[in-house]
Every structure is written in C-alpha cells, then in structure tokens.
Amino acid sequence: MIFVTGGTGLVGSHILLELSQKGEQFKALKRDSSSLSICENIFKYYNAEDLFEKINWVVGDVNDIPSLTDGMQDCEQLIHCAAVISFQSSDAELLKKVNIEGTANVMNVALSSRVKKVGFVSSIAVLGRNSTEGIVDEECHFKHTKLDSNYALSKYYAEQEVWRAAQEGLDVVIVNPSVILGPGDSEKGSSQIFEKINNGLKFYTTGSTGYVDVVDVSSSLIALLFSKIKNERFIVNGANLKYRDCFDRIAVAFNKPKATIKVTPFLKEIAWRLEAVKSFVTAKTPLITKETANSAMTDSSYSTSKIEQAISYQFTDIDATIKKYATWFIADLK
C-alpha cells in the first residue's frame, strides 16, 4: 500500500492517475477544504473517470499528525508531493509551515510506521542554481544568495528533512523538477504562462531555465520508487530553453503573436510593481513578483544524465508537451 500526499495538485493528480492505471493500492491525503477539480479533470482527460471514483481519499493535513498516523497505517511506501508554491513575500510563514514543518511531520510519522521507502518531489531551486556556473547537476550544493526565493529556501529545508529521515533509516528517492508544464489552475504555476500567452503576452525576458512535462515528473518518481535505488536525488528536466524561446513555442501552439518587447532591468522593476498593484486590486495571484522577475533575467541549464543512466528514462519532447497542453487549455475555454 502506498500513501500519497498532495494528490489534489498537479503532480499529485498525475501520480494518482498512474498508480490507478497500474492497479497499485494506495491512499491519498486531502484536506477537508481541498478541491478535487484538478484531479478529476486530469482523470477525465485520460478517460479514467471510473478510476477517479475508486480513489481512497483520507481527510487530513501534513500538519495534523494524527491524520498522518491513521493514513499511513498498513503502508510500506510513501510519495510526498504536498507543498505550497508561492513567490509572494507575504506567504513566507505559510511556506515554512507547510513545506518545512509539514515535511518534517510526514517523515517523522513515516519513521514511526511501517513505511520503508519514500519518494519526494523537491525542486531544482535547491540545487544552488544561483551560485553555480555552467550546467547544474545533482552535485551542485545550495548556497543562499539574495536571488533565492522564500519558496526555494522552504524546499531546501524540506529536502533536508527527507535526508534526515534517510539517516534515521528510511530509504528515499528525490526528484528535482524544473518548471513543470501541465494542466491545472490558470491562476497558479505554469498554467499562468499558457493563459497570459493565449491572452496576448507582449513581453519576454533574456534569461533561461529548464522545463519538464508533469507526466515525466510523476512517471520518473514512480519508477524510482519501485526501483532498488535508494538515497539518491535526480534532476527531471525535458529541455533547457530561453524564456523567449519557450514563450514563442507556446504562442505558435495557440496561433497567437509572439512576444516582441524585451524586458530590460528597468522594465523588470516596473513590471513586478505593476503586477503587485494589479494583484491587490483584483485579488488574483500575480504572474510576476520581485523574486520571479529577478529569476527570469538569469540563465540556468540542467543536466539529466544521472536519471537517464540510472533508469534509462527518456523525457517527452518539449514541443509535444507544449502542443498537448495548449490544446488542453483551449478545450477548457470552450
């Protein structure tokens, strides 16, 4: 039996889908207030509504230890992907509470239960991308810089809790995804990128980063969980692209004009401030914050040779990924 946290989110929903399709027995943690819409929509897209109806949901929270204890009964494996993703400074305490303290709780309960192996969804943000020159790989160590976001710090300390659990006896495998592309809430994550470009995004930045299909994140983690590999982490990244290149490809998929206005350092400072004002007025999550604006001006590239050699994993072609989710996004608008 597998216990899964974060099953209502983008990555977690795809993990539940693949586990269901494989016929694996699992329980999925959800908060009482959590919406199942993203998860249900993903199962529906893959014509797996019948599997969605069979999900064994456990009501609880990563900060509610009794619910974790009850949920992990009879489970020998754990997939922990519950996390808050935010680049707003106002969410610093929430990031600490959920990502760090929540992960510590999950690991502690796993250690005191029958769980033998843990799969954890971390982030490329913990690999010292802002303090590393050249290609980033799994041997790059985190060094805090002024460019690191509160989210990056929270994921770094969360990963340390997982490594602590490994020292105390759990077998662990960790994936460090780049920017995850997939369907979901249009006001969060990469779905915002698709929405903005479909609405006619005119600006592009000079930086670069990695992008990966959400299916690759879920599939690679499940493969690692079922493998004999333990106490290792792996970068999962489908392609290293300039932000402009990625935006252009999405624009082509939508048959929309490409962005033509280059964001200068001066425009960057204006942009995140305007987004902050807009967010305050509309109560919507800003696409750009001070942290993401700074990140979008830097160049980062990631190596996937470790996971390709370890389990012969082949990543989805990034153009196929973009086309698939652009088509999905358009269908959701109808």
Spatial distance between the Cα atoms of 4 and 78, rounded to a whole number of angstroms? 6
Spatial distance between the Cα atoms of 115 and 234, rounded to a whole number of angstroms? 21
Packing angle between helix 37-45 and helix 10-21, nearest 10 degrees? 50
Inside any domain, residue 270: no
Spatial distance between the Cα atoms of 208 and 107, rounded to a whole number of angstroms? 34
Per-residue pLDDT tens over the stretch 266-309: 455 555 455 655 655 556 666 666 566 556 657 889 999 999 99
Inside any domain, residue 66: yes
Inside any domain, residue 199: no
State the CATH number of the domain containing residue 73: 3.40.50.720
Query: Are 164 and 156 contacting, i.e. CB atoms less than 8 angstroms apart?
Result: no
Burial classification of residue 54, based on how many CB atoms lie within 10 Å of its CB (0-12 exposed, 13-18 middle, 19 or more buried):
exposed
Spatial distance between the Cα atoms of 235 and 305, rounded to a whole number of angstroms? 9
Q: In a 3-state reduction of DSSP, which class is residue 263?
A: coil
**Is the pLDDT score of 111 beyond 90?**
yes
**Is the pLDDT score of 188 beyond 70?**
no
Nearby residues of 177 by Cβ (< 8 Å), 6 or more positions away: 11, 121, 122, 123, 124, 212, 217, 236, 237
With tokens 């303290």, the residue in question is: 101
CA distances from 257 to 80, 199, 248 (A): 39, 10, 8
**Is the pLDDT score of 334 beyond 70?**
no
Number of domains in the chain: 1
Per-residue pLDDT tens over the stretch 225-275: 999 999 999 999 999 999 899 999 999 999 998 888 777 664 555 554 556
Query: Are 62 and 5 contacting, i.e. CB atoms less than 8 angstroms apart?
Result: yes
Inside any domain, residue 264: no
**CA nearest to 137, candidates 233, 254, 29, 279:** 233
What domain range includes position 132? 2-182+211-240+300-317
pLDDT band at 174; cut points 50, 70, 90:
very high
**Is the pLDDT score of 118 beyond 70?**
yes
Count CB-CB contacts under 10 A for residue 112. 12
Residues 145-180 as b/e (b if ≥16 CB within 10 A, e otherwise) read eeebbbbbbbbbbbbebbbbbbeeebbbbbbbbbbb
Query: Are 37 and 13 contacting, i.e. CB atoms less than 8 angstroms apart?
Result: no
Q: For residue 183, what pLDDT is reported? A: 85
Average confidence score pLDDT of the chain: 87
Give the containing element (helix H, strand E) for 4: strand 2-5
Torsion angle of the four alpha carbons 225, 49, 31, 65, in this order, in degrees rounded to the nearest 10: -40
**Is the pLDDT score of 110 beyond 90?**
yes
Inside any domain, residue 25: yes
Q: Which has the minimum average pLDDT: 23-32, 57-66, 68-77, 197-206? A: 197-206
With tokens 């350092």, the residue in question is: 265
Inside any domain, residue 89: yes
Per-residue pLDDT tens over the stretch 42-92: 999 999 999 999 999 999 999 999 999 999 999 999 999 999 887 777 788
CA distances from 29 to 8, 61, 149 (A): 8, 7, 27
Predicted model pTM: 0.89
Give the containing element (helix H, strand E) for 28: strand 26-30
Phi (first) and psi of residue 212, to 5 degrees: -145, 145
Per-residue pLDDT tens over the stretch 122-153: 999 898 765 556 789 999 888 777 767 888 89
pLDDT band at 160; cut points 50, 70, 90:
very high
Phi (first) and psi of residue 118, to 5 degrees: -125, 135
Give the containing element (helix H, strand E) for 301: none
Inside any domain, residue 327: no
Inside any domain, residue 334: no
Query: Are 118 and 80 contacting, i.e. CB atoms less than 8 angstroms apart?
Result: yes
